[in-house]
Amino acid sequence: MPLVFQSERFFREAWPQISQSVESGTDAASDVQWIAGATGLETGARVLDAPCGFGRHSVEFARRDCETTGVDFSETELGRARRAAGEAGVSLALVCQDIRDMEFSSEFDLAVNLFSSIGYFSEDEDRLVLDRFWRALRPGGAFVVDTRNRDQCVRSLPPEERMRRGNSTIRVENEFDPTTSRWRARWWRLKRASAKSEDASQELIGESEIRLYSAHELLHMLRPERWRKVELFGGLDGTPFSLDTHRLVVVARK
């Protein structure tokens, strides 16, 4: 059983409260469209989405008639993914598991690790996770990693970010340590002023910590000699990668 990691409590208790406010289904559809084009994804392909959260990307892959497996350690998020699949009229295989425990072997044509889902463990464990994705792929399969660009973050991370979706506003207090490349965040839910009080209030939801990787660090961890082809992008839309892109996307072909 893997050791508890720094942000485990956040993802078990806090993240399910806000994930559907922070993550967009519309974005997921465009993400999957680009991934399908970039990897040559075919109808009937087997896809691994880990961690899958509440299933927004998994559902979109299934809409493309892909045999899709979603892995996540949160029963709450998997329940939402199951309901989303039912509402969309598609089928998903959903597995409640820590991604460090995955034991798939040469089963998938495509594996994806999206929305900054690498970096929450120790560096050795992150390397282990990448190895598990490699083992999960069939020869010729593709792996897509999407995370935050460390080099952009170290120079431009704002002390505060706000995300508004519908009636919900999330405020994130950011702190980045350039000596360890670790980004620590405190997540607050802003409440509107009530009739009894003119002042808006805020509720601390939780705290997270992630090790951000530069392009050369992530490529080194992937062990590029294992892959026939490795490409870098600055987003899940084909934007060219640079020091100034917010995202770091790796597309690797086994």
Condensed to tens digits (0 to 9), the pLDDT of residues 140-192 reads: 999 999 999 999 999 999 999 998 766 778 899 999 999 999 999 999 988 76
Angstrom distance (rounded) from CA 19 to CA 24: 9
> Rounded to an integer, what is the distance from CA 141 to the centroid of its chain?
19
Q: Which tokens sit at 177?
A: 């340590």
CB 143 within 8 A of CB 134: yes
Nearest to 100 by CA among 140, 69, 127, 80: 127
CB 107 within 8 A of CB 82: no
Q: What is the pLDDT of residues 54-105, one digit of tens each?
A: 999 999 999 999 999 999 999 999 999 999 999 999 999 999 999 999 999 9
Task: Give, in order, the Cα–Cα distances in Å from 9 to each of 12, 179, 245.
Answer: 5, 25, 30
The residue ranking higher by pLDDT, 193 or 247, is 247
Q: What is the pLDDT of residues 8-57, one digit of tens each?
A: 887 787 777 777 666 666 789 999 999 999 999 999 999 999 999 999 99
For range 118-139, the mean pLDDT: 96
Is the predicted pLDDT of residue 205 greater than 60, yes or no?
yes
Nearest to 23 by CA among 64, 53, 63: 53
Structure-token match 């601390």, residue found: 204
Angstrom distance (rounded) from CA 208 to CA 9: 9
Residue 2's pLDDT is 61
Is the predicted pLDDT of residue 241 greater than 70, yes or no?
yes
